[in-house]
Structure 1
Amino acid sequence: MATIFSPLRYPGGKSAIAPYLAALLRANNYSGRVFAEPFAGGAGAAVKLLYAAEAEHLALNDVDQAICDLWLAILGETEEFLKLLRDTPVTVEEWSKQRAIWEKPEHHELAARGFATFFLNRTNRSGILRGRPIGGLDQSGAYPITARYNKANLEKRILRLAKWKSRISISCLDALDFIEALAALPRPPFLFLDPPYVGQGRHLYMNAFGHEQHESLATWLRAHSRIPWVLTYDDHPIIHELYSWAHITQIPIRYSAQTKRKATELLILPPWVTVPTEEARPLCYS
């Protein structure tokens, strides 16, 4: 059975993980270095660390080409992306058009491909790209399709992110290939891994893991003790078994108002990483 530990003064909840990661970086003398995410997705925590000067550079990777297109469009074609954001109506009819672009990306330019992914993420329930729009196709739900789509706020966030583009690199590799490449560097970055989950993986992710991939990741991480990392997973017996050699704690998760439920996820650290003893204080952003 894995060692169950309690990070001191952990603020609680996955939404608060960025301050804890900052404390973890400081405890291991890794502040101001490269912070890498093999399963980046929206990379919310990583971006917060960059803004707070806790990470010097972000190396973001996602095997899903749609996610990579989103990042590349925001960072490389910002003005065209923002024009799409301003001009595109947020309706179920438009949702169908953007869904069609996302399903057949080869027929569209980068900005359109990236924006389609962005549109679906902001208008679908729980942000799941293959899901259905908030409120349903008939908009009979408690929340409308526009519930998470404040154009003014989203534009500000995109502009801010684009200002930091020189400190963000994007790749679209298999996660194990990505971390293998990082392991070869003279000064490996700090890894934050949030892989596809075991229980609901095939429902939530376009590139879900099978048991062999979960096992391969655990084997690789155990074998590379010179690389510091932190891992988050769903609280599943398979994960406790695979990481019986590591430190595990539970994170309380509160899901959206639409699902109205609570759950727990796992935070996993290797034995060679120092657990922070300082309080995970709020970040101060540049």
Structure 2
Amino acid sequence: MQQLSFIDDPKPRPIVNVAMVPQRSPFRYPGGKTWLVPRIREWLSSRNTYPAEFIEPFAGGAIVSLTVAFERLANHVTIVELDQHVASVWHTIINGDAVWLAERIVNFDLTPETVEATLAEPAFNLPDLAFQTILKNRVNRGGILANGAGRIKHGENGKGLKSRWYPQTLKQRIMDIIDVRDRISFVEGDGLSIIRANAHRADAVFFIDPPYTAGGKRAGSRLYTHSDLDHEELFRVISTISGDFLITYDNADKLYDLARQYHFDTQLVAMKSSHHAEMTELLIGKNLAWAR
């Protein structure tokens, strides 16, 4: 592989105003990439060829994949997610009972009592599990679905559990996805395996946003049910990709070392956390000249 430029201390680009980015996902997802959407547009528009397929192997809330589908930035989009609860939502919306889910959301009388009772019930089918997942995502602090997450207490303006429950908005997002779901495929499975299976394809691009557990970081293990990942193996597999890719990662020394090892390009990007703290994340790719 040709060695590409590597900047040891790249200057971060300005912070994106996420209020200007259309909200497409029904999830309030920890580690979501709404702030990165304008960079995704830049990346894909900088390419000489139109991607036949856009693959997101660690999709989560899938805001990036949804944006690509809505804005027709690739011919087709494949969303991949391992977590069975998150997967139940995408199965239901992309492959199943999306209208039922949207109506269930708007007709649900949300109170502390109904929340606890609903989440305590066994889910007998995929749509029921999808509704429970959306409900939990909206009433848990930070949208965290992993075991041990607590409920919202005071919330915005003292609204408590209802502070993140926007039933009409959630319904509309689901109904909007229905309009573009012929451009989307969903795969419940291991993202690393999906990369391996499609690495030979020169017509595919990958947006890779793995759990942030490299270099001793613990955010991923706290936020996600499935956070164990062999980051060194991930980089090795990514190095076999024939097409293009963009990785976003925590700004950690280990990631710079892995990027150097495989001659990948890097660029820091400024962002704000959910608590409005200014931070930087690391973009990694074959050539990030478009991101300078």
Normalised by the shorter chain, which TM-score bucket?
0.7 to 0.9
Q: Provide TM-score, normalisation by structure 1.
A: 0.82
The equivalent residue for 2:258 is 242
The equivalent residue for 2:183 is 167
AA aligned opposite 2:71: A
Alignment CA distance shift 1:215-1:277 (3 Å): closer
The equivalent residue for 2:99 is 79
How many percent identity over aligned positions?
A: 25
Q: Structure 1 residue aligned with 2:71, among 41, 52, 69?
A: 52
Q: RCO higher in 1 or 2 (8 Å CA, sep ≥ 6)?
A: 1
Q: Distance in 1 between matches of 2:82 and 2:250?
A: 20
1:193 aligns with 2:199: no
Q: Distance in 1 between matches of 2:110 and 2:290?
A: 44
Preserved CA contact (<8 Å) 1:12 1:251: no
Q: Distance in 2 between matches of 1:10 and 1:190?
A: 25
1:183 aligns with 2:199: yes
Q: Distance in 2 between matches of 1:220 and 1:64?
A: 21
AA aligned opposite 1:111: P
Number of residues of Structure 1 aligned to a counterpart in Structure 2: 264
What aligned pairs does 1:61-210 form with structure 2 within 5 A after superposition? 61-75=80-94, 76-100=96-120, 107-130=123-146, 131-135=149-153, 144-185=160-201, 187-198=202-213, 199=217, 200-210=219-229
Alignment CA distance shift 1:249-1:146 (3 Å): same
Alignment CA distance shift 1:195-1:277 (3 Å): closer
Question: Offset at 1:142?
Answer: 5.1
Q: Distance in 1 between matches of 2:39 and 2:206?
A: 14
Q: Distance in 1 between matches of 2:249 and 2:7?
A: 16
Q: Provide TM-score, normalisation by structure 2.
A: 0.80
Does the residue aligned with 2:269 lie in a helix, a strand or coil? Answer: strand
Superposed CA deviations along residues 167-218 of structure 1, whole A, max 9, x for unmatched, are 1101111111111122244x441100000002111101110124xx111101
The equivalent residue for 2:283 is 267
Alignment CA distance shift 1:268-1:12 (3 Å): farther
Question: Offset at 1:96?
Answer: 2.3
Unaligned runs of 5+ in 2: 18-32
Does the residue aligned with 2:268 lie in a helix, a strand or coil? Answer: strand
Unaligned runs of 5+ in 1: 279-286
Q: Structure 2 residue aligned with 1:231, among 247, 268, 281?
A: 247
